[in-house]
Structure 1
């Protein structure tokens, strides 16, 4: 059955196609990871040109709802596992728990002088030495989160790049420097992902995403500031609360 498209000067035909497909995806017509009808099928179903369908699909891809693979077709984006907004988030444990394979790549590691923002966040002196680490987190080999981590050098003297490449930083802090993460505070806000980060994440420039700033403490000591940029198509958070509600 062909879809009835609304012809309106205020809504181009491709946006109308995208609107209908978007609603079907959000309504759960196709599961995450499921293949969508082919371009030819959609052309017939919507009684629209291939150019119109391609424009509609590009719009949905930019929104992170679908993923297109050359030679394989178009699939509903498979959302990542739910991440709790309460407690201490552990990327690796959350993925391992559902049988997925987490990994990471260290993109850059340098030492910078502490600025006013880092001084306030980590309670260290301005101009003191800070490790600045760029890290890409992957879920089953798919880039998911691009991070910049800021760690006072005094907390982890002689931290080597080969260590960072082989172990999660939280594990290094806990086992080598006796700084287990005991508390975190994080803020979350929507952003348009910059070109540099989008390239690292393998997504279109100017895509929607989330910026999470997280300060991690070991007991009463602030030890780490993490600025995480999460792909919009990979972001899914959950909050569980108890009690009675009206």
Structure 2
């Protein structure tokens, strides 16, 4: 409880109380915490003090605000080093998390103009489209759509991807030797479709990732991923400064 005789400012005491409640599981990731009014009444402190505490928690990225709806517990960030090629499953294992794949569908169809341009193939060429949700400890973190040219992956099966993982399958079944990959990142707002698969709220902030994977000079994969909230924190090392 709040100790009004303490030298610690009241708002910082409230910050520590809420952080302890989050840590103990009273409030889980993505869950709404009590309103300013409720916190003010519970701890018998002014709403201005509560507002200051919530502002501090938001600044520390422990909570996030959705205007008109309230404050919610942030997802714990997963540090991602971008200095080398990585796979989602391998990174989750390194972090002590259990990676998961929920494959929604795998279809074969003509590329069409937009995806053909991204894969540098003819619009009438066939491609595999893989839609899946990436999980860590059973929590949905990423909604992902992957486009693969049929010429490089003739008989790819959903069961093989589920059992082996996409990049292991590329390496072991199709003898793919990845030369490099290019990724771009941009902020986005989750739409209803993204939110449905990510167990999030439409209008939440997210991140769009686009990856082009190359084998020599050929693009063998284009993937567009929608990342939930602030699940990831990306790190890049810059060398060769003047």
Equivalent position SS for 1:163 = helix
Q: Is the 8 A contact 1:33 1:78 kept in 2?
A: no
- Aligned equivalent of 2:154: 157
Residue 187 (structure 1) aligned to one of 163, 184, 205: 184
- Aligned equivalent of 1:233: 230
TM-score, normalization: structure 2?
0.73
Structure 2 CA distance, aligned partners of 1:95 and 1:140?
9
- Aligned equivalent of 1:110: 107
- Aligned equivalent of 1:94: 91
Structure 2 CA distance, aligned partners of 1:179 and 1:196?
32
Kindly state the Cα deviation for residue 88 of structure 1 after the two structures are TM-superposed.
Answer: 1.2
Q: Is the 8 A contact 2:75 2:229 kept in 1?
A: no
Structure 2 CA distance, aligned partners of 1:240 and 1:232?
24
- Evaluate the alpha carbon distance shift between residue 137 and residue 127 of structure 1 in structure 2; reply closer, same or farther with a 3 A threshold: same
- Aligned equivalent of 1:136: 133
Q: Which is worse superposed, 75-84 or 233-242?
A: 75-84
Structure 1 CA distance, aligned partners of 2:21 and 2:130?
33
Structure 1 CA distance, aligned partners of 2:40 and 2:105?
44
Structure 2 CA distance, aligned partners of 1:108 and 1:131?
10
1:223 aligned onto 2:220: yes
Kindly state the Cα deviation for residue 184 of structure 1 after the two structures are TM-superposed.
Answer: 0.5
Equivalent position SS for 2:194 = helix
TM-score, normalization: structure 1?
0.72
- Evaluate the alpha carbon distance shift between residue 43 and residue 166 of structure 1 in structure 2; reply closer, same or farther with a 3 A threshold: farther
Deviations 1:157-178 (A, max 9, x none): 1111211221211111111111
* Aligned counterparts, 1:52-67, within 5 A: 65=63
Residue 120 (structure 2) aligned to one of 120, 123, 132: 123
1:34 aligned onto 2:14: no
Q: Is the 8 A contact 1:30 1:76 kept in 2?
A: no
- Aligned equivalent of 1:213: 210
Equivalences, count: 209
